[in-house]
Structure 1
């Protein structure tokens, strides 16, 4: 696999650089490729079943479905009960994951938390549970590969005076391990699922203390994950006009924070996830009568 390229875009008179991890693979792209790198390099015979859980907009779900198809592993994915509308969608991450062979199981909401907590109790040696969002210690290896790619671009980084990196956070795994691997850079992130305290708690489940070069930027208001916000739709189109398509779930909030709270030259690590845009754009167009 070749290193992902670096592009540049101009926003509000500022030049930003973008590490194009979205171009690695249609399904296994962005931070999910990095987080699942260890599994990608795992011998096929080591497992026959991968189990995970979460929401139906999940990029990790789709990436795991693609990985399991490549490895000929069974993929079982648990969610809370879905609406009929969700089940009938013919586009988006859930639909594509099913088309790749994912086996979907619904768990009643009142039982969901206890069921997920019990997933590892009866596993055999050929089965593996991957926690929601790929938030596992094994992600460290793939993110160290990403860090090494960035270090190989030192002449480019120095020439353009890039002193900081940015990536949005769900569980914070990508930002955390990047900060640990690249202490010479400032690493910016923002909590797109939950608040800052929730994000810190997720990161601290993987390490004892947070690195000093990791900065969590607070959004200007409380956003609820996967809900529709006109400013996110406008930011998506602003970025698209600048030349790059980003996801609608994480990227708009991160870019909003970067434009409002930073000044230095930044390399944004594109976390992928654009396969889910089709279903999100349908929702945006319906809500805001966008064309």
Structure 2
């Protein structure tokens, strides 16, 4: 039985020194252990929906998605059915679910596997057949409904800046769908620089995601892309090295999104406005399965 209580409170900001460089980290990962950082921000609007207005939640994405697990928690709290669609699982994971997938299934999520060919076409057909009692959540929570929660994040950042007496600074967050970075750019004054890096695809992929959410924005976040394109969630020795270094410096970050963003911040540090505030987007619950992935590939 999952606890149904939830009280939203803003996260603290902590100083963080890494490889001789000074940063601040907004600890969104510590707001609630059930919801992963920016996923909580994206889902905030849904917490206010009366449970009886929805019968079923439908979403799709990766089998170890942090958004998937957060939606599973939310659905369990609200008493909603949760149908989640993934591409065909590898046999070992289907036989013995692990990580976020295991926990989401324990929370009552119903998993559906689809063939990779025509996956997104199949998802669109499922969306079109949704009833009025169904709530369809796009992959990673990339939806205009995320705006309110991310704007609350921006308000918390501005309150911190006022307390610190800082006017011009840099806010950094990695991008999957780019939703958090986009709505932070929208909500924060232009004097504040917002930077991100695409972890899924490349700069064009990220731009296309932003255009779907907000076709005519005042401006988009600045994109850092010196590392280049890298297959999503594919183990890389440099990422593991950065992750271990960050952890030894005092904070555990997620192993999929964070290392690439920190790589870019180190490269661009001298030219970025100071201080640099990194928004910790949570997702550390997926580290166990990702570390297994690294070990399987002989990267340790």
Give the structure-2-normalised TM-score.
Answer: 0.92
Is 2:281 aligned against 1:274?
Answer: no
- Equivalent residue, structure 2, for 1:107: 114
User: Whole-Å Cα distance in 2 between the matches of residues 194 and 209 of structure 1?
Assistant: 22
| Structure 2 contact 68–104 (Cα < 8 Å) conserved | yes
Match of 2:185 in 1: 179
Give the superposition deviation at 1:91: 3.0
Contact in 1 for aligned 2:65/2:100 (Cα 8 Å): yes
Q: Give, in angstroms, the shift of residue 38 of structure 1.
A: 0.5
Is 1:188 the equivalent of 2:198? no
Cross-structure match for 1:53: 60
Q: CA deviation at 1:90?
A: 4.8
Retained in 1: the 8 A contact 2:43–2:149? yes
**Structure 2 residue corresponding to 1:220, chosen from 194, 211, 227:** 227
Could you tell me which residue of structure 2 aligns to residue 68 of structure 1?
A: 75
Counterpart for residue 169 of structure 1: 175
Most deviating of 122-131 and 84-93 = 84-93
Q: Distance in 1 between matches of 2:286 and 2:81?
A: 22
Which residue of structure 1 aligns with residue 209 of structure 2?
202
The number of aligned residues is 289
Structure 2 CA distance for aligned equivalents of residues 156 and 84 of structure 1: 52
Distance 2:200 2:89 in 1: 20
Structure 1 runs of 4+ off > 4 angstroms? none
1:10 is aligned to 17
Contact 1:31/1:271, CA 8 A, preserved across alignment:
yes
- Extract unaligned runs of 5+ from structure 2: 1-7
Cα shift at 1:150: 1.4
C-alpha RMSD of matched pairs (Å): 1.5
C-alpha distance in structure 1 between counterparts of 2:286 and 2:133, whole Å: 30
C-alpha distance after superposition, 1:245-278 (max 9, x if no partner): 0001100000000000133321100011100000
Counterparts in 2 of 1:109 and 1:287: CA distance versus 1, 3 Å: closer
8 Å contact from structure 2 (residues 54, 80) kept in 1: yes
**Secondary structure of 2:201's aligned partner:** coil
1:213-250 residue CA offsets vs partner (Å, 9 max, x unmatched): 62011132321101000100011001101110000110
With the length of structure 1 as denominator, give the TM-score of the two structures: 0.95
Task: Report the equivalent of 1:241.
Answer: 248
In the TM superposition, what is the alpha-carbon distance from 1:156 to its structure 2 partner? 3.6
Quote the residue 2:93 is aligned against: 86
Query: Aligned runs of 1:123-162 on 2, under 5 Å?
Result: 123-158=130-165
